[in-house]
Structures are given as structure tokens and as C-alpha cells.
Chain A
């Protein structure tokens, strides 16, 4: 269903926004590294690259 595809892209965008906000709020480097790691596949998925 095409509609669900866009719903799921919206979910990915929401999660990305939450992770990015947390990443910039915290000043612990290793935490930011963890967050950056999670962001990579989510951005690629949002852009439908993979």
C-alpha cells in the first residue's frame, strides 16, 4: 500500500528528529557517536537510497 509507505517515511522522519535533538542536547562524545551511527541508515531510508 503506497499510503503506508509515506506513513512509515513519516515515522522515520519523526525518529530522526528525536535522535538529532538528543544528539545536539547531550555533550557526551560517545553518546553522540552512538546517535550518529543510528542516524546513518535512517537518513538513507528516508531518502529512499536503500
Chain B
């Protein structure tokens, strides 16, 4: 048996034992796996490499943390609740459009933070009562929240698996917006209409209003939305006119908009908000640290190269089957782990088959779908909790949207060479 294969098996084995049997956090399990791999390869405990691995995702950490501060700020200011109320009262006569817009609200925190958990727990919790009031059964509403949160996690501007895959091959995280929008938006629209539209007949707006916070929108008016608009304007301007607009960087933009949100809506304690935001973010950040160390040791020991060379021997058909099955399946442990362990080698194998950024974006999208996989199923379990069910009935309704998402991703992957214009 090749030593690289032995190292890989040791790393995955220790990781799985740590995470599934000993119930250790993903971060710690990944570090233990990395150390085990280094020991098997005869490298001892390579402290320098473990620290190097820590630094792989420092920029990503800044983006996620500041995005979470922004998300908490607009949630506490009342902007999300006001937006919810606005959509329902304006569009209840056009249920399809109303559902699509509600789906975008579920997606929004995921888009900004790159975390499906953040999407379910913030916007999901706000939208869920409306979906139930409309008459959508609990299991279907849970499925809408779960898939919506995952579409948000995969949608730009922040897609962490895409950052992990790009970081793994030294590709800048630039140009991912087009392909990611092209895959996430149609899938999100299909999911919400497929699961919810038939229940949206003859809506009683007065009944719906009972579950909406109508006051916050009336009290603060347009200025509630200023932080969200400012965010969009700054993100677009820095890309559209880079020579005129100073490159502030995504973390600073998020932080500026979070500060603005403190003054545009309901008053809240900014420090307390910041603590709450970081409380939910720390486990995600630690996971990134673990992933960074894991990849560093995979590279140091040659196990990563071994995966790529082995994949090359499989042939393309087997590779595409693995992409559709093993990659989302690995999400049962961690979608970030899937991106780093499987996504990077798969991208290296597929580099010559089409547009590289599009391929990386689509692989990251498939990794994100892993957040639906039991037993971990972060997005799914939280969504089920919010609608007051166990995950099993919710998962049943996620199957068809999941298959449609995978099918669309494969169609795009096979045609990625025609999609290069989206990345410029």
C-alpha cells in the first residue's frame, strides 16, 4: 500500500473517530487528523506547518466575522422584519413573486455570511411563521428554509467552500459571482415554487399581518434599509470602478455598514450585538482553522497529490459520479471538509475541461448541498427545529430539490467551457 494512501486513511480515520465517535468539534477532529497524518508520514508533529495552515484562511475569517456583525446589526435594527412585512403586504396578490422574494430573504444572511446556519437562525426564524401562516405544511416549510439557507450559503458574495477550493489551488476569489448566481437563483426559485406555490391560494392579508411586525417599518421608514443599500453600492462600486473607488476590502465594507445600522433603526447595544454575532461565528471560524491545518498536512505528506493522481485514473464518468455522490455525502461530516478534501483535487483534475472559475464555483455549490446530509445536516436540523419537527420529514421534501440542484450543476459543469464570459 502506498504511504500516501496510508496517510490519507489515517487522517480521515482519526478525523471520523474524533468527530463521530468521540463527538469532538469538527475543528479539533481535523487537527487530530492532521497530526495523525504527519506522524504516519514520519514528519513528527510539524508545528510550523500547523501554524501555516492556520493562516490559510485569515482573510476568510475577517470576512465571515464582519459579515456576521453586519447581519446581527440589521437584524437587531429591525430591517429584516420590516423587509418581510413589506414583501408580504405588497405582493400577497402575486403569490409566486411573494414566495420568491421571501426565499431571497432566507438566502440573504447566507449570502452575506457564507453560513447556512446563520441564514436559518436569523432570516429563517423570521420567515418561518409567515410560510406556516400562508398554509404551507410544516415539513415543506422546513424544507424551503433548509434549501434556501444552503442556496444563500452558496450564493455570492461570500461562499466559503468556493474560497476553500480557490485557496487550495492558489486561485484568487474573484469572478465567482456570475456562475454562482446562475446556479443558485434558479435552484432557489424552483425549490420555493415546487414546495410552496400550491398552498398559496386566496391569502388573507389581515391574518398574515398578525404575524408581521408592521410597526418598525412605519416608525423608521426608508432609513432602515440604508445599511443594506450602502452594502450593495459599496460592493458593486469597488468592482465596477476600481480606479476611482478606493479598494476598502469586503471586511471594512461590512463593518462600515454594520456601524451605519446602529443608527438607522431600533436602538440596540452594539457591543452586546457584536458578542452575540461572534458567539455563533466562533465554531465556524475554528472549523476553518482545522481545515487549513488538514490541507497543509495533506500537501506536506503528498496525500493531496495522491488523490489527484488517483482521480485522473478513474476516467471522467466515474469522476462525475463521485462529484455527485461522494462530495455532497462528505457534507454529512462537514461541507467545508468536502470542499478542501475533495473539491481541491477534483478541481485540479477538471482544470482542462472548461472554465476554471466556473468549475470551482460549481464544485463549491455541490459541497454546500452536503449541509442537507444527515446526521450533521446543519441547515436541515435547524430548519426542522424552527418549524417544530424532527429532521426526517423535512429531509423527505428536500430530496427532489436536491436532485434538481445536482442535475443542474452537472449540466453546467459539462458546459463550463461556454460559461467563461460570466467570470469576467
**Chain A interface residues (CB < 8 Å from chain B):** 1, 4, 7-8, 11-12, 14-15, 18-19, 21-23, 25-26, 30-31, 33-35, 37-38, 40-42, 44-45, 50
Contacts and interface: CB of A to CB of B under 8 A. Distances in A.
B62 A34 contact: no
Q: Which 8 A-B pairs have the closest CB atoms?
A: A34-B286, A18-B278, A38-B285, A41-B54, A37-B286, A37-B289, A18-B274, A15-B65
**Interface majority SS (helix, strand, loop, mixed), chain A:** helix
A20 B96 CA distance: 46
Contacts of A7: 252
Contacts of A11: 62, 66, 251-252, 255
A40 B27 CA distance: 14
Given A4-B252, A11-B66, A38-B61, A30 B282 contact: no
Contacts of B249: 4, 8
A19 B24 contact: no
30 contacts: A1-B246, A4-B248, A4-B249, A7-B252, A8-B252, A11-B62, A15-B62, A18-B274, A18-B275, A19-B278, A22-B278, A22-B282, A25-B275, A30-B24, A30-B28, A31-B282, A33-B28, A34-B28, A34-B282, A35-B282, A37-B27, A37-B289, A38-B61, A38-B286, A40-B289, A41-B51, A41-B55, A41-B61, A44-B55, A50-B51
A27 B39 CA distance: 32
Interface of B: 24-25, 27-28, 31, 51, 54-55, 58, 61-62, 65-66, 246, 248-249, 251-252, 255, 274-275, 277-279, 282-283, 285-286, 289-290
Given A12-B62, A15-B62, A37-B27, A22 B279 contact: yes
Q: Which of A22, A23, A35 has the most CB of B within 10 A?
A: A22
B28 A41 contact: no
A7 B377 CA distance: 37
A15 B278 contact: yes
A30 B283 CA distance: 10
Contacts of A35: 282, 286
Contacts of B51: 40-41, 44, 50
A26 B27 CA distance: 18
B315 to A, nearest CB: 40
A44 B58 CA distance: 11
A21 B275 CA distance: 8
A41 B61 CA distance: 10
Contacts of A33: 25, 28, 286
Contacts of A34: 25, 27-28, 282-283, 285-286
B252 A50 contact: no
A19 B282 contact: yes
A40 B52 CA distance: 11
Given A11-B62, A34-B286, 8 more contacts: A1-B246, A4-B252, A18-B274, A31-B282, A33-B28, A38-B61, A41-B58, A45-B58
